[in-house]
Structure formats: structure tokens, C-alpha cells
Structure 1
């Protein structure tokens, strides 16, 4: 790489103290947001029972489109929000209303014996991937269960990415699945939410770099950090992930509108456009749009 990651890591403390000098951005490259949630407050698309929906928050697709236009975001990958669980109708409605603007990742019930057929159904409706989210406790043990075989196989047959919202403690559980499906594109969300001091978890995440179809979203910096924006104490982790996987397999995303009290939509975009100064020009383009285009091609 043109810029030595080792140089960055040795100066991280100075950066945290405010001494880092950000290189000027000469032009703003194309931006594709790899991770956003939307939902509608109304009777047309009812939430699942027990959903914990933030009160008073406008997360509609119309609001997202305005934010994208205001901030020069060309395309966005919509990730089915947990508020609807396995009912992906609002997601599909958004895809149909804005067919050129969005790609969609659905959810299916991983404990349902018909999960693979559910995935086929939602793929026929326009979705281009599925997201699984096993919990760290025993309730997430289904990720090691027999029903994963059919679902992962179907995902591979449909040629749609398998996206994983997964804690670092579950990385060992998915490694055998990745090995059994070498042609399947697998996306690890939020760097598996590895804590910045979790060396074991980070080592398990970085070990997945040996599988060429595994990609990582370098997101959730706002949640992983113990500092205020721009969350410089997470930069060393991002640099390690970039070194291990290469910039062509990492991507940024805003995770809007989750926890916007930690960082707004515009701030999250600026993280990838400006703040990660250890990325060279080509690496930044991969993070902003190149990698997500490889996983979810938009035809731009």
C-alpha cells in the first residue's frame, strides 16, 4: 500500500490528541451507502409484536431519499430492520418505488424449516441478499444447527450474499459454513462489533481474510469508540481490517438512523469521505463505492 499502516498505528496517539493532519479532499468520489434501515410509522406495514421502535423518529424511505440527495449519496443498500422481523413487505415496497436507487437485504426466520424457501420468495420479490443475526447467548445457537445447511446452500444457489450481524464470539461458528460454501459471498456487518481492546475477537475476524469471498463492513465506529466524533480510537482496528482483507473487500455505511445521537448521517458519511486519513485515494474509493459495487452491483 502507498500509505504505511504501521506509520499510522505508531502515530495514532498523536491523532487522538488532535495532532493528525487530514489530507485535503480534492474531489468527492461517488458514494454508495452499504448499510441503512428504513421503516414506516403507519398501519400499512405493521411492526412485529414486541418491536422496540424509537418514538418520534422519521425513518421513512422518503426522508432517506431527501438525505441522500442533500449529501450526494448515489445509491444505498437497505437492510431489513428488526422491527418487522421476517415481514419484508416495506423493504420490497421501497425497492419497487425506487428501483434504481436501492438494493435490499431481507430477513428470514432461521429457525423455520422453510427458511430457504422464504429466501427464494423474497428474492423473487426483488431482494438481493439475506441477513442473519445470531445472539451471543444460547438463543443464537441455531447458527450451529442443522437448518443452516439448506439456507446457506440456497443462498449460494441464488447467488445472493449472506450478510451476518454477528458478535465476535460467534465467528468460530460461521467459519465451517464459510468453508463449506466457498463460492458464496459472505458479508460481516460492523466488523463483528469487535471491541477495540478485544484482541481475541479481532484475531478471529482477521482470520476470515483467508476466505476470498468474505467482505467486511467497517461500520459502527460510533458504537465501538470510547471517544467523541470522529472516534479516532477505532482507527487502528479499521487499519488492521484493511490490511488483512485489502480495501477491495471492505466497505463503509452509515447505519442510519440507528443511534443518531452518537453521530448524525452527515458525520457518518464524513468519516469515510474525510476522516480515515490513512486510506490512500484508491482505498477510499473502494470503501465509498467500489466494494459495495462488487457485492451489490448497481450498474453505475
Structure 2
């Protein structure tokens, strides 16, 4: 079974935000060494532009250098009118399969409502570009966009849960999240899951909530991943948490969750052999 991580970061400068490893540089070669040790075949790079403004170019260079190991969900400042033409032919860049903006800051989330990003959704829909966002921060806006643009594939980052919550608090909006599963153009990246528990591995208090999300979205719209530079456990444990510790996940469905579903959703032409 091929294992493909739905979210990693690499960077060449800046001060990483939040709980990410506080190192000034984290290279493609460093993450490849960790992937190899953990049994991870490939990964989708999300440029952390909030602390490294050159990270998009860095990700493209990594995908060009290691085309069998990396693809990219890239980004650019979407609020700048002069950047709008960049979306045309976006996939022509090495490894590029989509777009991703976390929109964590309140002023960035305001763009969802004040018209700043109204241009983006129809353009991405026309270009066939999936967009990933930290939609758990703005589930109502996320639903509105998904309903208005049914041909636009949207991805909820980090299980779609409450970003700052842990244990039961992380699932405070679970019913609202599960309702989004009725929209066929919405998928969930099951990335960063260990962060949501104050318990140790294998994070048993997350199992039921994750199963409910999986049951709602199904194996083709529920993508395993790590955000490894922010995880409280080893890379290998991030893998085995899903491949060995969830009794409700196995067989063909596990294969879809661990990589095949992600590649189909974003249009990553990965060789599964």
C-alpha cells in the first residue's frame, strides 16, 4: 500500500508559527529522510508563506527535483488584484495540483465576506483547481462557497475541527462539520489529528470522532496526513495511528484514506503500481 501525506511544510527562512518546530530551515531532503524512516512514499507540500514568503518557489523546486515524492498545493497573496492572472495555467508549474490558504487571521477571514475573494472561487472552478482552507474556523462561510460553486473542489484542513480545541472541545462543531458531507465537492484532510488529544498515543479519545467524520465523508473524501513539523509524536506513529490503531479502518478503504483518495481529489497523477 502506498502512503501519501496530505500535508507537510518545508521552508528556508523565517520564524515558524505556533507549535511548529522552531528551526530556521527545514529542507526537502530533511523531510524525505523522515518520510523514508516512517514508510511514507510521497507528500503534498503546503508552502508556509506566513513565515517564509519564498516558500512557494521552494516547494516548486522540490517537486521538480523529486517528482515522484512531492506535489504542491501552492499559494500567492489572493487579496492583491495584480495577482489574479496567476491562477491561469497554475497547474503548469512543476508538481502543482491546487491552492491552499489557511486564512487563520481574522482580517483574512474577513476577505470571505467583504468581496475580496469573490473573484477566486469561479476562477479556480474554471481552472479545475482544488482549494484547501482551515475551514473549521469559518464553517458557515465554507458551506456558502461550496454551495455557490459546486464544480469547485474544496478541502477542509486538519479534520475540520476546532483549531485551538483539544479532546472533547476539538469536536464542538462536529454536527456542523458532518452536515458538509452532503456536498459532494467537499473533502476533509485528516491531518494533524494527534494535536487534538491531550492523551498519549494511540489517542483513543479521538477514535469515535474520527470515525464519525469518516462515516460521513467516506474513504474517497477523507485524507490521512500529518503536518509533521507540528506533531507531538513520531512520524511513524502518525502512520500507525491510522494503519494499526483504528479498528474501523482497513482493507480497500484504508488504501483510499492513506493516499489514493487524495491523489484522485487533487488530480495528482501518482503511480500506485
Tell me if 1:251 matches 2:219: no
Question: What is the aligned partner in structure 2 of residue 263 from structure 1?
Answer: 233
Give unmatched runs, 5+ long, in structure 1: 1-28, 41-45
Larger Rg computed on CA atoms: 1
1:204-252 CA-to-partner distances (Å, cap 9, x unmatched) read 1111101112110122222111211111111111011011111111010
Give the SS at the match of 1:182: coil
Give unmatched runs, 5+ long, in structure 2: none
C-alpha RMSD of the superposition: 2.3
In the aligned structure 2, how far is the partner of 1:221 from the partner of 1:288? 14
1:176-200 CA-to-partner distances (Å, cap 9, x unmatched) read 1111111111111112233443565
Structure 1 residue 59, shift from structure 2 partner? 2.2
In the aligned structure 2, how far is the partner of 1:119 from the partner of 1:139? 19
Match of 1:278 among 239, 248, 269: 248
Give the SS at the match of 2:74: strand
Give the SS at the match of 1:197: helix
Structure 1 residue 76, shift from structure 2 partner? 1.1
> What is the TM-score normalised by the length of structure 2?
0.86
Tell me if 1:107 matches 2:72: no
- Pick closer, same or farther for the CA change 1:67–1:87 going to 2, 3 Å: closer
- Pick closer, same or farther for the CA change 1:245–1:60 going to 2, 3 Å: same
In the aligned structure 1, how far is the partner of 2:241 from the partner of 2:82? 40
Match of 1:197 among 154, 163, 168: 168
> What is the TM-score normalised by the length of structure 1?
0.79
Within-5 A mapping of 1:67-106: 67-81=34-48, 82-85=50-53, 88-106=56-74
In the aligned structure 1, how far is the partner of 2:234 from the partner of 2:200? 12
1:243-271 CA-to-partner distances (Å, cap 9, x unmatched) read 11111110100212224xx1121111111
Task: Please say if residues 136 and 169 of structure 1, whose CA atoms lie closer than 8 Å, have aligned partners that are also in contact.
Answer: no
